[in-house]
Amino acid sequence: MKGLLYHARCKACGKTFGANTRSELLSKLRKHLWRFHRAMMISKIKAGQRKAKRKKELRIEGNPSWFDPSFIGFAERPLIEKVTGQPYEAVKSKVLDFMVSMILGGIKKP
């Protein structure tokens, strides 16, 4: 981990990650989450959908630049549609909100 600018810790299992760029770190963490915590990701996405039904406007804390569409990779897209039974576009903001809060919570800023 020494020399790497960005560090993150998986909230679910405590594994740590390091990278020199934020996008590299996000990509590592995202891959890890889907690979090792898929069931949790799916249940959180579903929970997020229910929450969003009650609360129409989800307020997103943090840096808006985290919310670029590339944040969710191509691999997640069909999975998210399968899980939610809705077009990806319809659930995108809720899924992003969840993923960002999940990932941001584990990242230490340099």
Instruction: State yes or no: residue 104 binds Zn ion (CB under 5 A).
Output: no
Instruction: State yes or no: residue 105 binds Zn ion (CB under 5 A).
Output: no
Tell me whether residue 13 or residue 47 sits nearer to Zn ion (CB atom): 13
Rounded CA-CA distance 85/79 in Å is 10
Amino acid at 4: L
| Contact pattern for Zn ion over residues 12 through 41, marking x by CB under 5 A | xx-x--------------------------
Least Å distance, CB 40 to Zn ion, is: 9
Residue 64 CB: number of other CB atoms within 10 A?
7
Distant-in-sequence, close-in-space partners of 54: CB < 8 Å, separation ≥ 6: none
